[in-house]
Structure 1
Amino acid sequence: MKQPTVWQRLTRKPDVQTTLNADHQLARTLTTRDLIALGIGAVIGTGIFILPGTVAATTSGPAITLAFILAAVVCSLAAMCYAEFASALPVAGSAYAYGSIVFGQLVGWIIGWALILEYMLAVAAVSTSFSAYFASLLSGFGLRIPRALSGAFDPAHGTYVNLIAVLVVLLVGFMLTRGMTTSMAVNRAMVLVKLLIIGIFVVVGAFYIKPINWHPFLPFGVKGVLAGASLVFFAYLGFDAVSASAPEVKHPQKTLPRGIIGTLIIATVLYVLVAIVLTGMVKFTHLDVADPVSFALIFIHQPQLAGIIAIGALAGMFTMMVTMIYSSSRLVYAIGRDGLLPGWFGQVQRQLPRHALVAVTTIIAVMGGLVPLTQLVNLVNIGTLIAFAIVSLGILPLRRHEQINNPGFKVPGYPVVPLLSFLFCLLLMSQLPQETWLMSLVWFGIGLIIYFSYGFRHGK
């Protein structure tokens, strides 16, 4: 029998039916409400309390509202592509699994490696922000965290570990090991706290709006709106994590598209409302500060509400970590299940991929506690955009795939919408700084070494 060539092995695709049946051990417990809570948990983080102010001040002015809407339109193109894939292939692994099935093993691995970077770095970075907010909240009660336990490993400046960052990651990981029913109940409660606090800001702030603050509406012109849209685009990242939950969702053909698109609609409404109120309360030129929402509340003599915003920010970061640790554990589980990482990662115990979850939680806790992350956070953006671009392009071979019959959601305007989504992703990737590209080449170089030394030989 003729041996397959190297190219044939790199582009081999898994059997669709085998893949669809591979995750039968996971419990299907999640509903549309759970998925939207997961999505909102990931998308609406601290960004909603920071981005509308800083981007309005530096780039778009009061037209920041148009920038959010434009970014949402661009993001919705990719969201619809994700929704079609999730409907056609409700399997663990999200974009990694989609890429493997329509393009082959090597492309799947590259997406998976990009997403591992995105999820883990995002959570590690957010855990350090959570630590900073939590420390400032404690200082309001006269409590101080010892300097040695308040930052990444840097003995020259007297810091050895960021204890709060480590503990919050371990807490989220522990919560997720208790099962999805418990985890989703906690997540929904935290999302409600966050939405309630955003609602309080919008309602209270609406009484202090001065329409004169919206003039001029386009101080930086149309160019400012476009530049603002490219900046706030990243505020929407995270809706793709919803598709990682596919094997644990009830009625995935209907529930997954609703969860993905519902997340994007709700997030857009919230961002636009906050932007309208914030730029109406305070002249946009004053909003280039680290915490524009708190600044606006102090400006209108409501400092007690500024403390409530800190609680909202903590709830936002906590739910973001829940979604991203959950998604990254399912991704690592799927890659291990397919043999591209050791099979230990792909094992299921008591209806949960516990090994993958423990490994992911441990790595993120170490990164958040010990590693300075400031230079690496831009890599989150490139990892996401690579996944978006390949998923968008993947709709073309998905529609022609002989083994896949999708009675559920389909992208409207095929093939124009998937191609537009792909081109927009390339455009945004071209805007990222040169050092981000260089660091990502190093990351993908490491990924290819791992793939050819292990995954290429063991992949199922």
Structure 2
Amino acid sequence: MGVMRTKSIEQSIAETGEPEFELRKNLSALDLTVFGIGVIIGAGIFTLTGRAAANYAGPSIALSFVLAAVCCGLAALCYAEFASTVPVSGSAYTFSYASLGELVAWIIGWDLLLELMLGASVVAQGWSQYATLFLEKIGIVVPESVAPGSAFDLPAFVLIVVLTALIAIGIKESLRVNLVLVAVKLFIVLFVIVAGIGFINTANYSPFIPPSAAGEQVSGITAPLIQVLFGLEPTTYGVLGIVSGASIVFFAYIGFDVVATTAEEAKNPQRDLPIGIIASLVICTVLYVATTLVITGMVKYDKIDPDAALAAAFESVGKPGYATLIAAGAVAGLMTVVMTLIIGATRVTFAMSRDWLLPRSLGRTNPRTGTPVRLTLIIGTVVALVASLTPIGKLEEMVNIGTLSAFALVSVAVPVLRRKRPDLKRAFTVPFSPVLPVVAALISVYLMLNLSGETWVRFLVWMAIGFVIYFLYGVKRSRMAVEERGEKVPAPTDA
């Protein structure tokens, strides 16, 4: 059966040496760690921390971040094992092709495109709001007709055009800019933590875990699926509030998996990829927990401004100038997130076109830049149009469901590949397999069930579109299908 075709690891690695599809090996462990921090620390630290503390867990939101980090850490271990064993572009898509078959690989690739392209669009809109706010603070006003929320969001469009051009020039050049922006972002996050410590009132930490209370009643398609399926009553605060908070702040960690999409461009993938994935996750967890402890120490949890927690916290202690600095940090911070997500989307689509599940001409790399320029321009154009023309605030949860489904499938794929290919040299292995990978998959599914029924319906529609494309195009034209039929592999010019 065609859809169950799996591609051997050796074949995947051999294809990376084909001249027309060859990516340059430019990235070190430091590049990959900075890349990971660049995408993880984004809107989460500037907005999500306060909202989750105010509405879900109070000061114990710090525990929610730790719990979410443990969940991500389990998935990260699975990604690290795969990325170091199969150092090929495409992340979860490539891993599942080798273990679960072509159809599952297509599903994951389609999921990742949803996560990365929609994620870049959503974050670009958030960047546009912060950029407009920052420009106003320094005396520059963006006309209302092209401001965020208008029919055409000009700042978001310009941002994506500039970043797409930079990514097309080359991955190393992109990451040099990324390094500078990440340094600015980390400086401002550390500044907030250090400056805020002096304004902490320890009385605000009491009670650290606020008593449980009934949550807001939501019914119908907008209610979390778990509530609909099991008739659970929504609650906030208490121990369940910490768990609910974890499912909200989990999304502040989304992005470490993007590090795995650049596997093929790492100089020493067996060593550098596990370091890049796990180091970026650990560093971000420490910064997140420190930031939440500062915010909930400066302002009583029930008085936190859920929309602009950090800026409002400093304004409440008579430091409005810090709010401008925080807006500047958000502008630098979100820029790196958008860039990293676009790079991830191009690398996943590149891997799919190299397998001919999408038109193979899309995946050609430019001999001068060593990057898939045509593909980068196509994806950048789509993201720019979606970000500037669509009110996609309601689609944010779609990013999360795409990511979590990929996490679940990658986690399951680790023990499957171990059973199928025990002979493979693994530079990094997940401890306590298959228990840890199964736990990682179950946690991902549980967090998916906390998303609304509306999100699930949209997700199923997106998947249905993916199935139509696969069965009309990919199943007959894929590289594996052509080889299975014993046909001559077309020359590069035949694409």
TM-score above 0.5, yes or no: yes
Instruction: Show structure 1 runs of 4+ deviating over 6 A.
Output: none
Q: Which residue of 2 aligns with 1:29?
A: 26
Which amino acid is 2:350 matched to? Answer: Y
1: CA distance, partners of 2:377 / 2:465: 22
1:221 corresponds, among 238, 244, 249, to 238
1:78–1:308 CA distance, 2 compared to 1 (3 A): same
**Correspondence list, 1:221-300, <5 A:** 221-300=238-317
2: CA distance, partners of 1:115 / 1:259: 20
Paired residue secondary structure (1:392): helix
2: CA distance, partners of 1:39 / 1:61: 28
2:169 corresponds, among 173, 178, 181, to 178
Following superposition, the deviation at residue 146 of structure 1 comes to 2.1
Q: Which residue of 2 aligns with 1:5?
A: none
Deviations 1:359-400 (A, max 9, x none): 110110010111111221111011001100000000111112
1:51 corresponds, among 32, 48, 57, to 48
Q: Which residue of 1 aligns with 2:365?
A: 348
Which amino acid is 1:281 matched to? Answer: M
Asked if structure 1 preserves the Cα contact closer than 8 Å seen for 2:27 and 2:267, the reply is yes
> Is 1:311 aligned to 2:308, yes or no?
no
Q: Which residue of 1 aligns with 2:220?
A: none
2:195 corresponds, among 198, 204, 211, to 204
Asked if structure 2 preserves the Cα contact closer than 8 Å seen for 1:87 and 1:406, the reply is no
2: CA distance, partners of 1:73 / 1:402: 28
Which amino acid is 2:74 matched to? Answer: L
Name the Cα RMSD after superposition: 1.2
Q: Which residue of 2 aligns with 1:392?
A: 411
2: CA distance, partners of 1:449 / 1:77: 33
Which amino acid is 1:54 matched to? Answer: R
Asked if structure 2 preserves the Cα contact closer than 8 Å seen for 1:398 and 1:404, the reply is no
> Is 1:120 aligned to 2:137, yes or no?
no
Which amino acid is 1:140 matched to? Answer: K
2:178 corresponds, among 173, 187, 211, to 187
Asked if structure 1 preserves the Cα contact closer than 8 Å seen for 2:66 and 2:289, the reply is yes
Q: Which residue of 2 aligns with 1:11?
A: 4
Which amino acid is 1:10 matched to? Answer: V
Identical positions, percent: 41
> Is 1:457 aligned to 2:476, yes or no?
yes
> Is 1:103 aligned to 2:100, yes or no?
yes
1: CA distance, partners of 2:423 / 2:249: 35
Asked if structure 2 preserves the Cα contact closer than 8 Å seen for 1:16 and 1:403, the reply is no
Q: Which residue of 2 aligns with 1:380?
A: 399
2: CA distance, partners of 1:458 / 1:30: 33
2: CA distance, partners of 1:393 / 1:324: 24
Following superposition, the deviation at residue 72 of structure 1 comes to 0.6
Q: Which residue of 2 aligns with 1:61?
A: 58
Q: Which residue of 2 aligns with 1:431?
A: 450
Following superposition, the deviation at residue 403 of structure 1 comes to 8.1
Following superposition, the deviation at residue 160 of structure 1 comes to 3.2
1: CA distance, partners of 2:270 / 2:423: 13
Following superposition, the deviation at residue 150 of structure 1 comes to 2.0
1: CA distance, partners of 2:423 / 2:385: 41
Which amino acid is 1:178 matched to? Answer: I
Asked if structure 1 preserves the Cα contact closer than 8 Å seen for 2:274 and 2:428, the reply is yes
TM-score (norm 1): 0.95
Asked if structure 2 preserves the Cα contact closer than 8 Å seen for 1:115 and 1:387, the reply is yes
2: CA distance, partners of 1:447 / 1:407: 32
2: CA distance, partners of 1:82 / 1:409: 10
> Is 1:331 aligned to 2:348, yes or no?
yes
Deviations 1:158-206 (A, max 9, x none): x431111111011111111221221111101100000000011111100
Asked if structure 1 preserves the Cα contact closer than 8 Å seen for 2:137 and 2:324, the reply is no
User: Structure 2: 5+ residue runs without aligned partners?
Assistant: 211-236, 480-495
Following superposition, the deviation at residue 230 of structure 1 comes to 1.4
1: CA distance, partners of 2:252 / 2:423: 33
1: CA distance, partners of 2:109 / 2:126: 26
Asked if structure 2 preserves the Cα contact closer than 8 Å seen for 1:330 and 1:356, the reply is no
Deviations 1:124-161 (A, max 9, x none): 01111111111112222333222222246xxxxxx431
Asked if structure 2 preserves the Cα contact closer than 8 Å seen for 1:298 and 1:306, the reply is yes
Q: Which residue of 2 aligns with 1:357?
A: 376
Asked if structure 2 preserves the Cα contact closer than 8 Å seen for 1:95 and 1:391, the reply is yes
Asked if structure 2 preserves the Cα contact closer than 8 Å seen for 1:92 and 1:244, the reply is yes
Asked if structure 1 preserves the Cα contact closer than 8 Å seen for 2:120 and 2:342, the reply is yes
Which amino acid is 1:364 matched to? Answer: V
Deviations 1:257-283 (A, max 9, x none): 010111110010000000111111111
Asked if structure 2 preserves the Cα contact closer than 8 Å seen for 1:58 and 1:288, the reply is no
2: CA distance, partners of 1:69 / 1:267: 11
Asked if structure 2 preserves the Cα contact closer than 8 Å seen for 1:28 and 1:249, the reply is yes
User: Structure 1: 5+ residue runs without aligned partners?
Assistant: 1-7, 153-158
1: CA distance, partners of 2:363 / 2:4: 22
Deviations 1:8-30 (A, max 9, x none): 20111123212112223211110
2: CA distance, partners of 1:112 / 1:243: 13
Asked if structure 1 preserves the Cα contact closer than 8 Å seen for 2:257 and 2:277, the reply is yes
Q: Which residue of 1 aligns with 2:436?
A: 417
1: CA distance, partners of 2:343 / 2:106: 19
More displaced stretch, 14-23 vs 266-275: 14-23
Paired residue secondary structure (2:392): coil
Asked if structure 1 preserves the Cα contact closer than 8 Å seen for 2:60 and 2:242, the reply is yes
> Is 1:131 aligned to 2:122, yes or no?
no
2: CA distance, partners of 1:288 / 1:130: 19
Deviations 1:94-151 (A, max 9, x none): 0011111101111000000011011000110111111111111222233322222224
1: CA distance, partners of 2:68 / 2:421: 35
Asked if structure 1 preserves the Cα contact closer than 8 Å seen for 2:23 and 2:265, the reply is yes
